[in-house]
Amino acid sequence: MNIKLLNKELGEVLSDVTVVFLKKDELEECEHADILQKAGFKAEQDTTCFLYEKATLFCGVDSKKSDDIRSAASCMMKMLKSSNYKSAKISVISKSTITALVEGVVLGGYEFNEYKSEPKKAALEEISLAVNDFSFDDIETIFNEALIVAHATNFTRDVVNRAPQEINPQTLAHVAQTLAYDNSLLCNILQEDDLAKENMGAMLAVGRASVHGSALIHLAYKPANPKKVITLVGKGLTYDSGGLSLKAPTSMVTMKMDKAGACAVLGIIKAVSELKLDIEIHAFIGAVENMVGGNAYKPDDVLVSRSKTTIEVRNTDAEGRLVLADVLDYAQDKVKADYIFDFATLTGACMIALGQYTTGLMGHSHKLKHDISRAGSDAGEMISSLPFNRHLKKLLKSEIADISNTASKPYGGAITAGMFLDKFIRDENKNKWMHFDIAGTAYTETPWDCNVYGATGAGVRLMCEFLRDIK
């Protein structure tokens, strides 16, 4: 489906359907107020009323602000795709809501149906955004940038949504290599022999029982004169059975999404390279499959990580932090970065703490937390900080090793996981590092906002917003 921006009045645009965003206090003044009243339309947020005889679709919004427009535009796409109309037109309300409109159309209209033997094809082919403004060139720039970020988000969704028999550590590495070729990125893949030479005992242990070899993926985008250097680290568990601490069958369903942190990192570097931001990006991914077998790592094992920190394994389902421990250590050796951000579907505890719709943010720098939270608000991704404290840190104590991979009590699980990672962040990098727990936000089985069933691409819009304004 094509979306385009036109420097025209709405009436000058030829289209099958006109879309109108309507607030409650605008209802009485609407041209079709009587018909809408008879239809029971009250212009509440995310409600729609399709006047087919008038070829007009009304979408209710609480306000004309970005969050409400984005969500309503997603509902609009659902209605349009269920019709037989081929085109629709919308008047751009303001310069500030163009990005939200694009996201509502591109993200809300997304489908992943590659595994359907006979996928349903919508008749809808084109959405036109009409804007008649003297600053059209500026508006067009915003539109084009929004398209890049939205398509990068859908790229992330595509990879997350692919089934585990298709995406394993080696094929994820191939996805990264293809992206590197298409976007002129530098690419280096470390296979298991290389990981062994790097003494990545924690990462190698997690993938030991899989028939697919683990891999560390390093992509780099290097513009000529970067103003900042950013390291991104992604958890790439292409499938997580829980290992010998086997997940319950119902909990194992959707575990293809445990690679969402890695996929977000791929989406971010894709968007940044296409936006041509003057920021150097290094993306490090630990691609591993956590399976069950005779050589699987076990509770009671003591692993030696790359940093030589010893780790007592109490639960093989707390595997992502083991992978990240080694990858974070490697990344700090390879790149002297201004900021280090890791993205991981790390804990179910984060969903208990914050719900399904909010990413957990952890780290030491209050200023960095504030800046990222503000970027999240502007990007339409909700962020909430979870505070470290010295009492929870005690729960990671091991009697036989330097640290345990799970806490001794089941409380504050998202925070103790973040504090485990903090163990592997060097002192000089403590205030440069932030951990994003996207366990709740990366995947949904109930559509919300501009997120349809499946992967959401959490982290891509947020980080692009942050990096565009970075100083």
State the DSSP string of 130-150. E---TTHHHHHHHHHHHHHHH
Q: Per the residue annotation, which of 64, 247, 334, 423 is the catalytic one?
A: 247
Tell me whether domains 2-109 and 163-468 share a fold: no
Q: Per the residue annotation, which of 259, 321, 432, 461 is the catalytic one?
A: 321
Q: How far is CA 260 from CA 73, 256, 318, 350, 435, in A?
A: 25, 8, 16, 15, 14
Q: Are residues 106 and 150 in contact, defined by beta-carbon separation less than 8 angstroms?
A: yes
The domain over range 2-109 is classified in CATH as 3.40.220.10: yes
Q: Is 81 a catalytic residue?
A: no
Local structure of residue 11 (DSSP, 8 states): G
Q: Is 78 a catalytic residue?
A: no
Single out the residue of 309, 326, 301 nearest to residue 403, CA to CA: 309
Residue 296 has pLDDT above 90, yes or no: yes
Mean pLDDT computed over 376-400: 97
Confidence of residue 74 (pLDDT cuts 50, 70, 90): very high
- Which pLDDT tens digit goes with each residue over 432-469? 999 999 999 999 999 999 999 999 999 999 999 999 99
pTM for this prediction: 0.97
pLDDT of the residue at 196: 98
- Which pLDDT tens digit goes with each residue over 13-62? 999 999 999 999 999 999 899 999 999 999 999 999 999 999 999 999 99
Look at the alpha carbons of 245, 250, 256, 257 in this order and tell me if their dihedral is positive or negative: negative
Residue 471 has pLDDT above 90, yes or no: no
The token pair that represents 361 in the structure block:
């943010």
Distance between CA 125 and CA 87 in Å, rounded?
6
Confidence of residue 217 (pLDDT cuts 50, 70, 90): very high
- Indicate the burial class of 366 (C-beta count within 10 angstroms; 0-12, 13-18, 19 or more): exposed
Amino acid, res. 119: P
Q: How far is CA 401 from CA 198, 314, 316, in A?
A: 21, 11, 16
Can you give the residue ranges of every domain in the chain?
A: 2-109, 163-468
Any idea what the Cα angle at residue 321 is, between residues 178 and 358, rounded to 5°? 80
Q: Which residues fall within 8 angstroms of residue 304, CB to CB, at 6 or more apart?
A: 199, 201, 202, 310, 311
**Highest CATH level, class, for 163-468:** alpha beta
pLDDT of the residue at 132: 85
Confidence of residue 212 (pLDDT cuts 50, 70, 90): very high
Q: Are residues 264 and 200 in contact, defined by beta-carbon separation less than 8 angstroms?
A: no
- Which pLDDT tens digit goes with each residue over 120-171? 899 999 999 999 887 899 999 999 999 999 999 999 999 999 999 999 999 9
Based on DSSP, count helices (H) and strands (E) in the chain, helices before strands: 15, 19
| Residue 334, number of CB atoms within 10 A of its CB | 14
